[in-house]
């Protein structure tokens, strides 16, 4: 899939997400105009879920990665993400906790087991966390010896501070790099969208069940009152 096609798809996904949020909010407002107790009881939850979707669209809208010639995966830059993400990830305490989790996860240390040769590693489609935290940015120019070791004898060709922060040590890697924070931001963005979609689907199903049940009870009560 080309860069132009990927960008086109991402823009349409973002647009449809925003449209979904607007539709949900409008539906909630519409229900609030009806005197039916069943509809009115769902007004606030529906408007709330629409607002949450819209907020999530704003927070996760930015950042889609940058293609690098010769690589099957993208690299991510921290400044591409929303100010909210930047604030959370640049918080010293937050990142200290996240970094300890990354080190314990062994995502980086397991790369040599997944890619036993340099050719396999270069052809790999790394995850955002693997691409940002387990290796130096491509612009640094460090040659890869294998999936967990780079030749640091070369002077970095870029002024990017991540080039000096990267170390081959298992507990260091690029965990202090902005590229690692960007990789985590991309991971969180993807996960949040999946959770949002699941929650919306679950909310719709539960709302339908509640609405049908509420109306059934009301109709039954009306029949009993007539009898």
The alpha helices in the chain, defined as continuous H runs, are: 3-32, 37-41, 43-59, 83-90, 92-105, 111-114, 118-122, 128-133, 162-165, 178-226
Question: What pLDDT is attached to residue 200?
Answer: 66
In which band, very low, low, confident or very high, does the pLDDT at 3 lie, cut at 50, 70 and 90? very low
Task: Determine whether 96 is exposed, middle or buried from the number of CB atoms within 10 Å of its CB (0-12, 13-18, 19+).
Answer: exposed
Q: What does the DSSP assignment read for 116-154? A: -SHHHHHT----HHHHHHSS--GGG-PPEEETTEE-TTS
Question: What pLDDT is attached to residue 66?
Answer: 80
Question: What pLDDT is attached to residue 78?
Answer: 87
**Degrees (nearest 5) of the Cα angle 180, 182, 188?**
105
Q: Give per-residue pLDDT as tens, 130-160.
A: 999 999 999 999 999 999 999 999 888 889 9
If one compares 10 and 164, the residue with the highest pLDDT of the two is 164
Please name the residue that has the structure tokens 């909310």: 203
Q: What is the mean pLDDT of residues 187-209?
A: 68
What's the CA gap between 86 and 82, in Å, rounded? 6
In which band, very low, low, confident or very high, does the pLDDT at 178 lie, cut at 50, 70 and 90? very high
What's the CA gap between 163 and 197, in Å, rounded? 37
Does this model's pTM top 0.85?
A: no
């Amino acid at each position: 899939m080309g860069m132009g096609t990927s960008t086109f798809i991402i823009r349409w996904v973002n647009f449809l997400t925003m449209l979904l949020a607007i539709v949900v909010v409008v539906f909630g407002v519409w229900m609030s105009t009806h005197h039916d107790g069943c509809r009115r009881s769902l007004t606030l939850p529906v408007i709330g879920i629409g607002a949450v979707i819209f907020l999530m669209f704003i927070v996760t809208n930015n950042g889609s990665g940058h293609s690098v010639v010769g690589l099957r995966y993208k690299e991510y830059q921290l400044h591409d993400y929303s100010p909210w993400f930047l604030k959370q990830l640049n918080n010293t305490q937050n990142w200290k906790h996240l970094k300890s989790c990354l080190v314990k996860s062994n995502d980086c240390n397991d790369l040599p087991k997944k890619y036993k040769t340099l050719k396999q590693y270069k052809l790999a489609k790394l995850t955002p966390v693997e691409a940002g935290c387990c290796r130096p940015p491509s612009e640094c120019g460090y040659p890869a010896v294998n999936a967990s070791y780079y030749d640091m004898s070369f002077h970095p060709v870029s002024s990017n501070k991540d080039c000096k922060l990267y170390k081959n040590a298992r507990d260091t890697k690029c965990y202090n790099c902005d590229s690692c924070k960007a990789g985590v931001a991309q991971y969180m963005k993807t996960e949040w969208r999946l959770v949002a979609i699941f929650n919306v689907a679950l909310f719709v199903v539960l709302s339908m069940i509640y609405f049908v049940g509420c109306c059934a009870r009301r109709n039954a009560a009306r029949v009993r009152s007539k009898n």
